[in-house]
Structure 1
Amino acid sequence: MTSTEDSTPEVGTHEDEPHGSGRASKLNWLRAGVLGANDGIVSVAGIVVGVAGATSARGPIFTAGIAGLVAGAVSMALGEYVSVSSQRDSDHAVLAQEKRELSNDPDAELEELAAIYQAKGISEATARTVAEELTAHDALAAHLDAELNLDPDDIASPWQAAGASALSFTLGAVLPLLAILLPPQTIRVPVTIVAVLVALAVAGASSARIGGSSVRKAVLRIVVGGAAGLAFTYTVGHLFGTAIG
């Protein structure tokens, strides 16, 4: 399923998440949730509006919407599970390698750690002292932090990521499904379009605030894109529905 906004940043990316930064991790999860809900809104809205362009019967619209919701949630969960599992395997491989290096040649690892801090602008003597003190406290954590920005306690769970992705998609998908089914047939499509565009605006604003980008640009981009997508799917559904019927 494709979002009209930026793709979700990959969970567990070492360069993007500072060691011990619980706030950064929470923000990434929150942003992923917002974008997952956005995907649910866009995907299912496109399906139900397209079907509504072909038929006014609630049955086909409901069936198509539910099918899109379930398929989208499963797809999102599976994709997130595979992605996070791969990242988790990579993280554990890095942990194992670092443990071996510390066990096999601790002196070389100490020199490496001191060199890292020296490269950051600390004097040679101070860098050496820092490296020695950190090594004495927790050598593995010191190297994971300095070399990889990796916190072993913050490695994402594939099952949690998959569940969160499926849940956020489902919550987003419920909105257009209810909006298309509850109103009378005569105003069904306009109500759905308005509800979806408002929801997209909220999602776009939330995503922009989390990411620190321009709220106005994000909202404009996602609302215009969403409106164009809904107009296109409705037109396609109407044309094909008329032709087949």
Structure 2
Amino acid sequence: MESTGQNPPQRNHTTLVEFLFLGFSDIPNIQEFLFWLFLIIYIIILMGNSLIIIITHVEPSLHNPMYFFLGNFSFLEICYVSVTVPRLLTDLCRQTRNISFVACATQMYFFLVFGATECFILTAMAYDRYVAICSPLLYSIIMNHRLCIQLATGCWVSGIPVHMGFTYLIFSLPFCGPNQLNHFFCDIPPVLTLACGDTLVIEMLIYVIALLVVTIPFILILQWTYNI
């Protein structure tokens, strides 16, 4: 007897190897203006934060915890904007705005890590001011050099393993459809919209990480500010 069953048709998928930024492509007439605008802003950020770092390093009277964290924050701001702005400036100057799969994952990873570090450093700066105001006599004992180094190190490294795993999960999803990112850098929402697989777990993790990285530091800063 001859079988009449038929196998379901196989759907051909092409795994993406690169993404294409849409960015400001819908407003081509002002891209030159945007290039110079973002370039000037970027230069101002680099110069301003570099000046803060240099002054806090060479001026002995500024060698205290407050300016130590301020120097860290300024260096972080340079790193943070350098993840996205140079790429944006390059894309505004050329016709093709493609980015490889690996480069997109790398950009997202550093963007998330530096964003988490910013939240942690702001929390450390708030704690420093809380101790300085509420316990001025014990300030130099509590906020000693060793604690400052530990806090700064913790701020810089805490987000690394979390966002390394998170970025890996995002880019482990299958990407088999359109490759056009409706953004000018690899942010989470536009990348997830291109994923073919189930993104529910990733979306739940976004809320969990936001709670740990943003909400808890925000609550701590509010509490210390209220106690002052």
Q: Which has the higher contact order (CA 8 A, sep 6+)?
A: 1
TM-score with structure 1 length normalisation?
0.28
Decide which structure has the larger Cα Rg and report it: 1
Q: Which has the higher helix share?
A: 1
TM-score with structure 2 length normalisation?
0.30
